[in-house]
């Protein structure tokens, strides 16, 4: 499209974040783009001129996207009154009237002390004016320098804030363009494109160092490994940079090792951040039990017997072992168990033991997700909070105000989050780590629970006996068979598990006789058949789900039924399933808007999909009509759209497990929310639902393995229904996940074990 110019008065800023904003003009036109103005709300009511083009945004629909924005009228007046701090509108009007715009500009640039002659300006105010004006000028200069490289103004503002202490920022960037990779939103590839176009030497140490940091972060975040074999890393780095030989890369790696940006661990290397994080975790775990505090109760057997009478349940031998171990006064231990082995009951007994010494109010149970934190609260009876809310509450404090912390669903916790938690513990605090190593490893770097178990980093009790409340209950037993790579006895009649067989008759024989297009059509038609059966199964749960909704039991509604699938794409992927299931659970919503691939309607079940600071309220604050506060909203939080305001173009979502209401502008819904009738297995980790339906198709073969299937099946509390191809299910049960993460914690532990073998 051709570049055009629009003018109009800004009626309202609909969304703004770090210099990017979406606004509505008085004539109804929506515009979006980046500005150097810190607070775009200052242009509300201003007449503006924007240059750009009309675009059909995939999420937000048609809007005018600008790359240049100018204030109509006196731009100097606008910037002095709205952007530069320390000057009011009356004073600016008098200054312009007295000096004229051109002369005032010259004075601000060349002789700012002359303004002291003007009534109303003293030293302090002049200092504010000159500092703010210089910052604005420097930012404009930076923007002009970076404009040819297509660096947006929001990123320009971030670059400026990150390097505000540097006197000659443009010269510094010319010298090392890769320094801007320190800024969020500027990756190596973007900086590399800019640097190469500026003529930097492709073998510049700056380039190699930036690529090394980028590659190590990618390995950590995508593969979960916090360390990598040096030989493999050198080869990968040469490939990323397009080098045929390794000399330049090897020299830079040696330099980074000397400067302690990289650390050497035998044949492995690790990036500074991951090394320091996991070295601190290693030291914490190694030193946790150096000085036990002594027995908590003198007669632990009598204590257990007394507590068993209260709960009406007798502990098994492994469960008693965990309580007796804790009673020695150790500061950290792990309780590991598969689904149905009684982890929660054992944890409750352990906390009761600790309560006898430390008191009820000194105990907190925590987990990564709100649902998991609530569940451990329900099963133990102790105060609960998510890890992030605990960290936020202790942001300005040295320590958390608890003597006992129980971390549940520990398999989900990566090294960064684990480190943040332990760094806030009191020196003498007790840490109980509870988890299931049969589940998926965490998202992000590290594999804390698995490393603790493999290297005996702290005393660990493993629960293996599965407890069955009813003879026809099978979820835990079927899940355990899957975990071990065995095909379970899945065809029997159970009260909590059902396999709906929709296999393609003589599939392998037919597959070999068909052409590619015919095979594709056969599979597509069969997946449609599985889809219809998934919907039919889901329909049977609608009445109970709606009963929860009508009684305002939002938590009950969002955890009543969940369709879980391995992938996003395809007929049986979460995206298509969400659209299909929405027509069952929330057909013809009273208010709805289209954003991207979904319609979002009143009373839709949704999941937040980014870690982001958002305008949020407590339920009480929302009811009272108070202003929102900024709160961190995390990827994976599930809630319900309960209000849509067409006039303000905003919707409100209630997240019951976090007891939080969050406001979303219509234009940003598609970026921060997704429908949640169907979720990927990774998204459901740590959660639990009354009913779970899992489609099973060879179309998802690439994602089939024991950890994924085990995690999916164990999300079900009352019933799990698997719908699909028998051979695909059997294949998933036998395909043991052999993916290994190389971690600093594991390497340090292995080196220590080699020094002191048993």
403-449 tens-digit pLDDT: 999 999 999 999 999 999 999 999 999 999 999 999 989 989 999 99
Lowest mean pLDDT among 174-188, 225-239, 376-390: 174-188
Stretch 246-270: mean pLDDT: 95
Q: DSSP E strands: which ranges in 146-222?
A: none
Q: What is the chain's Cα-based Rg?
A: 30
Q: Which two tokens stand for residue 634?
A: 């995390």
Specify the pLDDT at position 484. 92
- What percentage of the chain has pLDDT greater than the value 70? 95
Q: Which residues have CB under 8 Å from 339's CB, separation 6+?
A: 436, 438, 466, 475, 476, 479, 480, 710, 714
Specify the pLDDT at position 395. 85
Stretch 388-400: mean pLDDT: 90
Q: Would the pLDDT of 478 be above 60? A: yes
Stretch 659-680: mean pLDDT: 91
Q: Would the pLDDT of 10 be above 90? A: no
Specify the pLDDT at position 124. 80
Q: Would the pLDDT of 338 be above 70? A: yes
Query: Among 429, 447, 427, 428, which residue's Cα sits nearest to residue 439?
Result: 447
Stretch 499-508: mean pLDDT: 86
- What percentage of the chain has pLDDT greater than the value 90? 55
Q: Would the pLDDT of 327 be above 90? A: yes
Specify the pLDDT at position 411. 94
Q: Would the pLDDT of 382 be above 80? A: yes
Specify the pLDDT at position 703. 77
pLDDT grade, residue 57 (50/70/90)? Answer: low
Q: Would the pLDDT of 38 be above 70? A: no
Specify the pLDDT at position 106. 85
Tokens 């008191």 locate to: 359
Specify the pLDDT at position 470. 73
SS3 readout for 392-452? HHCCCCCCCCCCEEEECCHHHCCHHHHHHHHCCCCCCCEEEEEECCCCCCCCCCCCHHHHH
Q: Would the pLDDT of 59 be above 60? A: no
Averaging pLDDT over each range in 304-318, 349-363, 497-511, which range is the top one?
349-363
Query: Among 364, 406, 342, 449, which residue's Cα sits nearest to residue 746?
Result: 449
Q: Would the pLDDT of 487 be above 80? A: yes
Specify the pLDDT at position 613. 85
Q: Which two tokens stand for residue 484?
A: 């071990």
**Chain center to CA of 565:** 19
Q: Which two tokens stand for residue 6?
A: 């629009």
Higher pLDDT, 359 or 189: 359
Q: Would the pLDDT of 351 be above 60? A: yes
Stretch 39-62: mean pLDDT: 75
**Residue 424 in contact with residue 394, Cβ under 8 Å?**
yes
* Residues 546-563 pLDDT 10s: 999 999 999 999 999 999
Q: Would the pLDDT of 693 be above 60? A: yes
Specify the pLDDT at position 128. 76
Lowest mean pLDDT among 148-152, 169-173, 399-403, 587-591: 148-152
Q: Would the pLDDT of 1 be above 60? A: no
Stretch 225-248: mean pLDDT: 93
Specify the pLDDT at position 485. 93
pLDDT grade, residue 87 (50/70/90)? Answer: low
pLDDT grade, residue 337 (50/70/90)? Answer: very high
Higher pLDDT, 604 or 702: 604
Query: Among 707, 730, 731, 683, which residue's Cα sits nearest to residue 436?
Result: 707
* Residues 91-133 pLDDT 10s: 777 777 777 877 888 888 888 888 888 777 888 878 877 777 7
Q: Would the pLDDT of 370 be above 60? A: yes
b or e along 531-549 (b: 16 or more beta carbons within 10 Å of the residue's beta carbon)?
bebbbebbeebeeebeebb
Beta-carbon neighbour count of residue 112 at 10 Å? 17
Specify the pLDDT at position 510. 75
Lowest mean pLDDT among 133-137, 169-173, 615-619: 133-137
Specify the pLDDT at position 435. 95
Specify the pLDDT at position 512. 74
The mean predicted confidence, pLDDT, of the chain is 88
Higher pLDDT, 357 or 169: 357
Specify the pLDDT at position 547. 93
Higher pLDDT, 105 or 503: 503
Q: Would the pLDDT of 610 be above 90? A: no
Q: Which two tokens stand for residue 138?
A: 């420097």
């Amino acid at each position: 499209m051709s570049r055009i110019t629009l003018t109009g008065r800004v009626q309202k800023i609909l969304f703004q974040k770090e210099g990017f904003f979406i606004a509505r003009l008085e004539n109804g036109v929506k515009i979006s783009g980046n500005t150097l103005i810190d607070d775009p709300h200052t242009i509300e009511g201003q007449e503006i001129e924007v240059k750009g083009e009309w675009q059909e945004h995939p999420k937000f629909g048609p809007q005018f996207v600008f790359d240049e924005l100018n204030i109509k009228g006196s731009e100097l007046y606008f910037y002095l009154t709205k952007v530069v701090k320390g000057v009011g509108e009356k004073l600016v009007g008098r200054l312009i009237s007295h000096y004229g715009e051109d002369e005032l500009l010259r004075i601000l640039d060349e002789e700012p002390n002359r303004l002291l002659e003007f009534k109303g300006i003293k030293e302090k105010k002049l200092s504010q004016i000159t500092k703010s004006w210089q910052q604005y000028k420097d930012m404009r200069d930076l923007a002009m320098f970076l404009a040819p490289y297509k660096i947006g103004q929001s990123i320009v503002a971030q670059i400026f804030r990150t390097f505000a202490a540097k006197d000659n920022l443009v010269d510094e960037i010319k010298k090392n363009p890769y320094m801007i990779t320190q800024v969020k939103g500027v990756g190596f590839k973007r900086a590399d494109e800019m640097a190469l176009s500026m003529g930097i030497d492709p073998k510049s140490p700056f380039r190699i160092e930036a690529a090394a940091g980028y590659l190590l972060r990618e390995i950590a975040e995508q593969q979960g490994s916090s360390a990598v074999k040096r030989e493999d890393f050198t080869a990968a780095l040469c490939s990323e940079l397009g080098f045929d030989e390794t000399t330049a890369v090897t020299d830079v790696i040696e330099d980074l090792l000397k400067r302690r940006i990289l650390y050497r661990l035998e044949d492995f290397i690790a990036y500074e951040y991951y090394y320091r994080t996991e070295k601190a975790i290693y030291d914490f775990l190694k030193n946790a039990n150096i000085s036990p505090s002594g027995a908590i109760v003198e007669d632990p057997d009598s204590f257990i017997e007394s507590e068993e009478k209260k709960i009406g349940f007798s502990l098994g031998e492994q469960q008693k072992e965990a309580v007796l171990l804790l009673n020695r006064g150790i500061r950290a231990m792990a309780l590991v168990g598969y689904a149905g082995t009684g982890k929660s009951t054992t944890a409750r007994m352990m906390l009761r033991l600790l309560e006898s010494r430390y008191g009820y109010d000194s105990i907190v149970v925590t987990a990564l997700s709100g649902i998991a934190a609530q569940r451990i609260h329900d099963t133990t009876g102790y105060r609960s909070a998510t890890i992030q809310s605990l960290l936020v509450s202790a942001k300005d404090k040295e320590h958390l105000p608890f003597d006992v912390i129980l971390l549940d669903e520990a398999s989900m916790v990566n090294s960064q989050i684990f480190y943040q938690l332990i760094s806030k513990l009191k020196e003498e605090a007790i840490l109980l780590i509870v988890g299931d190593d049969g589940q998926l490893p965490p998202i992000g770097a590290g594999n804390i629970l698995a490393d603790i178990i493999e290297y005996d980093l702290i005393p660990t009790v493993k629960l293996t006996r599965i407890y069955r409340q009813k003879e026809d209950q099978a979820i835990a037993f079927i899940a355990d068979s899957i975990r071990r790579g065995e095909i379970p006895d899945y065809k029997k009649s159970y009260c909590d598990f059902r396999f709906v067989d929709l296999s393609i008759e003589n599939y392998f024989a037919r597959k070999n006789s068909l052409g590619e297009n015919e095979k594709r059509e056969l599979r597509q038609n069969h997946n449609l058949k599985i889809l219809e059966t998934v919907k039919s199964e889901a329909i049977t749960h609608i009445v109970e789900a709606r009963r929860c909704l009508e009684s305002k039991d939002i938590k009950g509604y969002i955890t009543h039924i969940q369709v879980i699938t391995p992938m996003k794409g395809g007929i049986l992927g979460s995206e298509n399933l969400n659209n299909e299931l929405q027509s069952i659970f929330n057909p013809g919503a009273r208010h709805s808007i289209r954003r991207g691939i979904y319609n979002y309607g009143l009373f839709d079940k949704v999941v937040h999909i980014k870690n982001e600071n958002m305008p949020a309220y407590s339920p009480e604050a929302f009811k009272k009509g108070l202003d929102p506060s900024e709160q961190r909203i995390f990827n994976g939080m599930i809630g319900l759209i309960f209000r849509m305001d067409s006039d303000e173009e905003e919707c409100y979502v209630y997240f019951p497990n976090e007891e939080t209401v969050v406001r979303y502008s219509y234009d940003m819904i598609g970026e921060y929310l997704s429908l949640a009738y169907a979720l990927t297995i990774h998204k459901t980790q740590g959660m639990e639902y009354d009913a779970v339906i899992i489609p099973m198709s060879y179309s998802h073969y690439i994602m089939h393995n024991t950890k994924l299937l085990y995690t999916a099946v164990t999300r079900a509390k009352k019933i799990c229904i698997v719908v699909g191809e028998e051979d695909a299910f059997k294949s998933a049960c036998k395909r043991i996940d052999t993916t290994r993460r190389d971690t600093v914690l594991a390497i340090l532990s292995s080196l220590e074990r080699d020094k002191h073998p048993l």
